[in-house]
Each structure stands twice: as structure tokens, then as C-alpha cells.
């Protein structure tokens, strides 16, 4: 976070136009959220990488090369991000069904390695709250991925 603040001040001092840097890019925001959940436990397994690429392709109707390029951009953006808020604010206008599908995809990434780390759970929970996804839908998405009967 300190790094991104320093970068912002440096750009302001150099007179860069920052107005284009915060334009909405919902596809990038979706990819960033999937990257956030994959990296939440500080271990990104190959199964999580594969799940991210497959889910981004499915959710956004992208081919594998487009998905890879978007993931690279997202991974870079996530490194400089301060919070989930900057991504979720771009997605609140999506339909309830689309937001549910995003939360479900986040569960799929988290569960790709066979277990859900508490930190992954926390990222998904916070994202669902910020996207105004009802708790019952949050749980329904989790259960549909994990198959738990809880």
C-alpha cells in the first residue's frame, strides 16, 4: 500500500494525468477479485491458476490467450491495490445473477486445490458484502462448489 501511495505522489509531482487511471474496467475488476482470492493464502497452486483462467474465459467469454493477458494485468494491479473496494465498486451495477456467479467463481478458485483457507473465505465474504450479495446467496454459492450439506 505504501508503495502505491508513493507511486501516486510521484505521478502527481511529475504532472501525469491520473484521470484515465481509474476508469471502470469491469472485466479487469472481475479478474482482480479472482486473483485476490487465489493469493489470499499466499500460496497459488497450479490448480488455482488453471481455475482462474478457465473461469475468466467462461465468465467473460474470452479465449485462452485473452484470459491469460487479462490475468497478467490483474495480477499486476492486485499487487498495487489497497483494498477490495476499488474492484467491487466497479461491479455493483451488474445484475444480481452476475454478482452471484462471480462469488461462485471465487469459491471455485478457492476450492480448486481441494480446501478453502480461512483467508480465502474472508476475501470472498468481504467481496460478497461489498457487492451486496445476500448472505444466503453467499452460502448457496459456497455449497454449490464444495458440495457440503451444512
Closest CA to 53 of 122, 112, 99: 112
Q: Give the burial class of 86: count Cβ atoms within 10 A of its Cβ; 0-12 exposed, 13-18 middle, 19 or more buried.
A: middle
Within a domain: 109: yes
pTM of the model: 0.80
Residue 85 inside a domain? The answer is yes
Answer whether residue 9 is part of any domain.
no
Pair 62, 102: CB distance under 8 Å: no
The domain of 141 spans: 25-146
Model pLDDT for residues 4-28, shown as the tens digit of each residue: 555 555 655 665 444 444 567 899 9
Instruction: Tell me if 92 is assigned to some domain.
Output: yes
134 located within any domain: yes
**Is 1 within a domain?**
no
125 near 138, Cβ under 8 Å?
Answer: yes
Q: Exposed (0-12), middle (13-18) or buried (19+): which is 65, by Cβ within 10 Å?
A: exposed
Number of domains in the chain: 1
Q: Is 20 among the domain residues?
A: no
Is 138 inside a domain boundary? yes
Mean pLDDT along residues 42-70: 90
Q: How far is CA 33 from CA 8, 65, 112, 139, 142, in A?
A: 22, 19, 15, 18, 16
Q: In which band, very low, low, confident or very high, does the pLDDT at 92 lie, cut at 50, 70 and 90? A: confident
For residue 1, pLDDT beyond 50 = no
State the CATH number of the domain containing residue 51: 1.10.3680.10
Amino acid at each position: 500500500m505504501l508503495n502505491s501511495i508513493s507511486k501516486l505522489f510521484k505521478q502527481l509531482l511529475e504532472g501525469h494525468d491520473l484521470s484515465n487511471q481509474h476508469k471502470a474496467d469491469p472485466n479487469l475488476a472481475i479478474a482482480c477479485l479472482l486473483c485476490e482470492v487465489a493469493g489470499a493464502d499466499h500460496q497459488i497452486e497450479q490448480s488455482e491458476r488453471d481455475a482462474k483462467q478457465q473461469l475468466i474465459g467462461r465468465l467473460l467469454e474470452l479465449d485462452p490467450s485473452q484470459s491469460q493477458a487479462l490475468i497478467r494485468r490483474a495480477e499486476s494491479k492486485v499487487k498495487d491495490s489497497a483494498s477490495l473496494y476499488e474492484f467491487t465498486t466497479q461491479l455493483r451495477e451488474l445484475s444480481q445473477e452476475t454478482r452471484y456467479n462471480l462469488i461462485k467463481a471465487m469459491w471455485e478458485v478457492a476450492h480448486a486445490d481441494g480446501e478453502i483457507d480461512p483467508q480465502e473465505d474472508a476475501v470472498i465474504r468481504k467481496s460478497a458484502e461489498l457487492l451486496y450479495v445476500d448472505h444466503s446467496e453467499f452460502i448457496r454459492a459456497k455449497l454449490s462448489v464444495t458440495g457440503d450439506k451444512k
